[in-house]
Structure 1
Amino acid sequence: MMNQTAIFIDAGFVLSLGGHKVAGTTLRSAFTTHYESLVRGIVQTVKKNTGLNNLRVYWYDASKDGLFTEQHKRIGLIPGVKVRLGRISYNGEQKGVDLRLALDLVGVARNRSASIAYLLSGDDDLAEAVEEAQDLGMKVVLLGVAKSDSRLGVASVAEHLALTADYIETVPDQLLDSAFTKVLEWDKSHSEKTSLIANSPIAPITKTTTKPLMPTPAVMAQKNIARTAAEIEAEAEVIYSSGGESPGYQGSAAYEQKELTAAEEIGAKVAQSWLASTTQSEVVELVADKPQLPPEIDRTLLKDCAQVLGEWKTDQQTIRRTLRGAFWDYLDRIM
């Protein structure tokens, strides 16, 4: 077996961790990723830990119909990087990403192309592929982001996957700080291109206009969303969900108030981040489908919550309803 490493990166996993660290949300439009810096930093970390040369960096992501976007082309042109794409399904879920990663991991082990695989993912579904690669003589190391309050010591990694791997290492905090940048404010050129003027006056009501124009996303995102714990506890809030569940849940019925408060804060923050990088027409479309949420927003709510409360609590329907309700509550308050 070749005495070198191979690096397998689940893009959704890495981008979620980096984005949440610098921007407080996994919503990709809320942060900018410096891919060259990220890949270079990961390769250098592995080189420092092993002293071995790297065969290749495999980058796994999803796109519509599995076709390369301009972003994926840019990543694919980074020396030593191979981009592998799954598909985004009709309902917005990734399909085939884990399968491609698993096949490549086992394939590299079977061909004896590398002696150590570094895996940047937290998905429990990869555990069987890890064991198969190990049976073929390859060591498999999980490379994650340190989290002191996690029992595993790393963020968002399934326990079964962690137990399957040979050992766990972490990337330096400064790597994420340098590779990810928070989108701080509404982009002026974007506003001009979409004909959105942040300080536009309310349109007068005429015979053909039944209500004032909706404020632009830039204006809405700047409004204060501060809510005290007393306000949250006092509200008998109606909760909407994208799964068609009936409204009517009131927080303290099943969970500690601090967990529900955290979920509400996360839902409001996702709404604020989304509004800061969207267009007025997209806001209109979203409101028209209320209480349904687009899959991208729903996934972001769940990922952000998992970063704070943990995967198992995010799986609870009560927490999910609270997240979705807080998102809509934020929009209701500022529109």
Structure 2
Amino acid sequence: MTILDLTSHPIAAKYAVLVDVGYLYAAAGEVLLGAKERKEYRVAADELIQALQKHAEARIHGELLRIYWYDAARDRVPTVDQRVIAQLPWVKVRLGNLNARGQQKGVDAQIRSDLEALARHHAVSDTILLAGDEDMVPAVEAAQAYGVRIHLWGVEPPYGTNQAERLVWESDTVEIISADFLRSFFSRAPAPVPVPSTPIAPSPAQVFAGRTPATAKPKAPAGQVTKLGPSRPRVEEVGEHVAQKWILTRGRDNIRDLLPGPILPTVIDTELLIEAEKELGHSLRPYPEARVWLRDGFWARVYREFEIGVGVSSK
């Protein structure tokens, strides 16, 4: 099928990009790495999204409404990567549920609903759809009935095709994203952290052993009242408590994605600070050293959970 160059279109378009992440990742993982499951590879999703945005800008003369990023998470609790993606400008993360067998539920329905709603309300004149499922066909036809042009993108397959034939037929234009375009954003996942067969939980003394004491603060000039900050043991205790809560609510697999540490993604580091301030009942922002203690406590609990060491400072 011929790919149309929309840059010559006389009327500026307003368009959205709808990405079925399950399809994109699975197809790219297969063609690039021969992978069958997402846990086998890592994706630089923020860089990939920026590249897709530039790719769209080069093909459609007009204004981007936003990029819709459709993915799934267990109990719809976002993963570390999904939380980072949600902070990106012009990106809307939509989450379906991931069941115990790793199957996505509700994602296709969200894509169909948004595609039809954008067309019905005349929010866009064009839509780029990066997907492959035949279930998209009714929504494509409905959007076209409202005058929206559908530009289907697919991932280069290792052989044959990885998109439904009817979906290809019904779309206005079709483009295949090459493996070379995607290659730099996908890499094999590191080997899993080994867990001892007979793990032994360290004692509290071992947890805090070897940590350097807080650096003494210089005395304030005579007549100046100093503002006392929180104590190190209390801040570290809160850091461990937040880590424990996240392990229980977000799941070990999501927390494992933070390893090996001790650097936290900015989004997660900010969430840690907010959670800690809520528990302490006051701000930690005037105390840079308290931020370090907070991270120390957080990592002490995470490392203990995965039996890979304790007491690693983030300083």
* TM bucket normalised to smaller: 0.5 to 0.7
1:235-314 equivalent positions in 2, closer than 5 A = none
Deviation at 1:89, TM superposition (A): 3.3
Q: Report which stretch shifted further, 52-61 or 6-15.
A: 52-61
Aligned 8 A contact 1:131 1:164 in 2 = yes
Residue of structure 2 aligned with 1:10, choices 9, 14, 20? 20
2:120 match: 110
1:174 aligns with 2:180: yes
Task: Tell me, in whole angstroms, the C-alpha distance in 1 between the residues paired with 2:77 and 2:157.
Answer: 35
1:128 aligns with 2:138: yes
Q: Secondary structure at the match of 1:49?
A: coil
1:101 matched residue in structure 2: 111
Q: How far apart, CA to CA, are the structure 1 residues paired with 2:80 and 2:156?
A: 31
Displacement of 1:171? 2.2
Given that 1:115 and 1:139 are in contact with CA atoms closer than 8 Å, whether structure 2 keeps it comes out as: yes
Q: Aligned partners of 2:27 and 2:196: how far apart in 1?
A: 33
Provide the residue aligned with 1:215 in structure 2. Answer: none
Distance 1:22 1:149, change over 3 A: closer
In structure 2, distance between residues paired with 1:162 and 1:132: 15
Contact 1:11 1:59 in 2 (8 A): yes
Q: Give a deviation string over 1:231-270, Cα, whole Å, max 9, x none.
A: xxxxxxxxxxxxxxxxxxxxxxxxxxxxxxxxxxxxxxxx
Q: Give, in angstroms, the shift of residue 90 of structure 1.
A: 4.8
What corresponds to 1:214 in structure 2?
none
1:40-68 deviations in whole A, cap 9, x for unaligned? Answer: 11111111111323110101111222222
Max Rg structure: 2
CA–CA distance in structure 1, aligned partners of residues 187 and 23 of structure 2 = 17
Shift of 1:69: 2.3
Among residues 154, 165, 169, which one is paired with 1:163 in the alignment? 169
Match in the other structure for 1:71: 81
How far the C-alpha of 1:2 sits from its partner, in A, is: 7.7
Q: Which amino acid aligns with 2:196?
A: S
Give the partner amino acid of 1:163: W
Paired with 1:51 and 1:2, the residues of 2 have a C-alpha distance of: 6
Rounded to whole Å, the distance in 2 between the matches of 1:88 and 1:33 is 18
Give the equivalent residue in structure 2 for 1:44: 54
Flag the 1:20–1:133 CA change in 2: closer, same or farther, 3 A. Answer: same
Residues 10-32 of structure 1: CA deviation (Å, up to 9, x unaligned): 11000011211222113112111
- Contact kept? 1:22, 1:182, Cα under 8 Å: no
Aligned-CA RMSD value:
2.3
Native 8 Å contact 2:31 2:156 kept in 1 = no
Q: 1:19 to 1:78 in 2, by over 3 A?
A: same
State TM-score, norm by structure 2.
0.56
TM superposition shift of 1:97: 0.7
Amino acid in the other structure paired with 1:131:
E
Tell me if 1:186 matches 2:191.
Answer: yes
8 Å Cα contact 1:45/1:171 also seen in 2: no
Partners in 2 of 1:34 and 1:180 — Cα distance?
7
Post-superposition Cα deviations, 1:109-138, rounded to whole Å, max 9, x if no partner, equal 112111110111101111000000000010
Deviation at residue 8 of structure 1 after TM alignment: 0.4
Unaligned runs of 5+ in 2: 1-10, 198-255, 257-315
Is contact 1:2–1:113 with CA below 8 Å preserved after alignment?
A: no
CA distance in 1, matches of 2:109, 2:13: 26
How many Å separate the matches in 2 of 1:156 and 1:60? 18
Question: Does the Cα contact within 8 Å between 1:6 and 1:116 map onto a contact in 2?
Answer: yes
Check conservation: 2:12, 2:61, Cα contact below 8 A. Answer: no
CA distance in 1, matches of 2:105, 2:151: 24
Structure 1: segments with no counterpart, 5+ residues? 197-276, 278-335
**Structure 1 residues 22, 90: CA separation in 2 closer, same or farther (over 3 Å shift)?**
closer
